[in-house]
Amino acid sequence: MLETRNLCKRFGGLVATDHVSLSIREGELHAVIGPNGAGKTTLIAQLAGELKPDQGAILFDGRDVTRLPVHRRAAAGLARSFQITSVFPRFTALQNVALAVQAHAGHSFRFWRRASRDEALNGPARGALELVGLGDRAGVRAELLSHGEQRQLEIAMALATGPRMLLLDEPMAGMGPAEGAEMVELLRGLKRRYTILLIEHDMDAVFALADWITVLVHGAVIATGTPDGIRSDPEVRRAYLGEEAG
C-alpha cells in the first residue's frame, strides 16, 4: 500500500534519510524503530508531505505521491495523527473532531443549513471518538482530558478524515504504564481495519503490535523483518536493542 524507493533527505552535511526503501502491505502494522536521531520523524514527515525528499520516490497505492502536498495526500487516504498543537484546548473533544472532519471536507459544508451541517460533522466525529474509546468524553473540553486521552483524541481526529493508512509518531510518548497499555489495546483494535506505520520508542508495545519492523540507524535501514527476526538479528542487537532484547 505504501512504498518508498531510495528516499534521501539531507540537512546540510547530515544525512537524515539515507536511501530508505520500505514496503508496507495493506492491513499491516509496520513499526519503524531506531535510536534517537535515527531519522524516524524525518521519514514520517516526508511520508505525510510536510518535508520534501531530496531524492527517491514515495508511492501510495501504486501512485507516485512524492510531490503531492499534505492535503492531497490526506484526501488520498494517508493521514498523520494530529499533533496536540492542533487541538483547541477550550473546545470539547467532539468539537475538535468535528473540526477535523470539516477541515478534511473543505468547503463542501458551507452551503448546508446549520442543523444538517452540524449533524453531518458530529455523526462521523462521534464515530471516531467511539473508535478510540472516548465516546463518553465527547462533551469534555480538550484541556480537561488526561494526557492519555489527549493522545486518543489526536488519533480520533486523524480517523475522522476517513483515512486508509495512519502514520503515528510516538503515540505512547509521555504515558505511564496504564495509559500505555490502553493505547496498545486501542491500536490493536485499529489494526487490520487500517494500515498503520508506527514510530515508537516503547519496545514492549512495538513487539506486541507489529507485523513487520524496520530498524533505522543514522538514517539508513539496517534490518527489516518480523518481530522474531528483528529480536534475534545480531546487527540490530549490536546497533540498537543491546541488552534490552534480553
Ligand X SMILES: Nc1ncnc2c1ncn2[C@@H]1O[C@H](COP(=O)(O)OP(=O)(O)OP(=O)(O)O)[C@@H](O)[C@H]1O
**C-alpha cell, 98:** 468535528
Given 10, 19, 21, 41, the residue binding ligand X (CB under 6 A): 41
Residue 121's contacts (CB-CB under 8 Å, 6 or more residues apart) are 98, 101, 102, 109
Query: Distance (Å, rounded) from C-alpha 97 to C-alpha 157?
Result: 5
Candidates 38-46, 117-125, 129-137, 144-152 — which segment interacts with ligand X by CB under 6 A?
A: 38-46
Residue 35 exposed, middle or buried by CB count within 10 Å (0-12, 13-18, 19+): middle
If the CB atoms of residues 40 and 137 are measured against ligand X, the closer one turns out to be 40
Indicate whether 144 belongs to the interface with ligand X (CB under 6 A): no
Least distance from ligand X to the Cβ atom of residue 53, Å: 13
Given 24, 31, 39, 96, the residue binding ligand X (CB under 6 A): 39
Q: Which of 225, 239, 241 is nearest to 22 (CA)?
A: 225
Least distance from ligand X to the Cβ atom of residue 16, Å: 4
The four Cα atoms 98, 101, 106, 107 give a dihedral, to 10 degrees, of -40
Query: Distance (Å, rounded) from C-alpha 20 to C-alpha 157?
Result: 29
Place of cell 475522522: 160
If the CB atoms of residues 34 and 180 are measured against ligand X, the closer one turns out to be 34
Count, residues near ligand X per rule CB under 6 A: 11
Query: Distance (Å, rounded) from C-alpha 204 to C-alpha 200?
Result: 10
Site track for ligand X across 8-27, x = CB under 6 A: ---x--x-x-----------
Given 2, 22, 30, 34, the residue binding ligand X (CB under 6 A): 34
Given 29, 38, 153, 239, the residue binding ligand X (CB under 6 A): 38
Least distance from ligand X to the Cβ atom of residue 60, Å: 20
Strand partners, 217: 220
**C-alpha cell, 158:** 486523524
Given 40, 80, 137, 151, the residue binding ligand X (CB under 6 A): 40
Candidates 33-41, 56-64, 220-228, 234-242 — which segment interacts with ligand X by CB under 6 A?
A: 33-41
Least distance from ligand X to the Cβ atom of residue 98, Å: 31
Least distance from ligand X to the Cβ atom of residue 236, Å: 15
DSSP codes of every residue in 34-51: -STTSSHHHHHHHHHTSS
Could you list the residues that contact ligand X (CB under 6 A)?
11, 14, 16, 34, 36-42
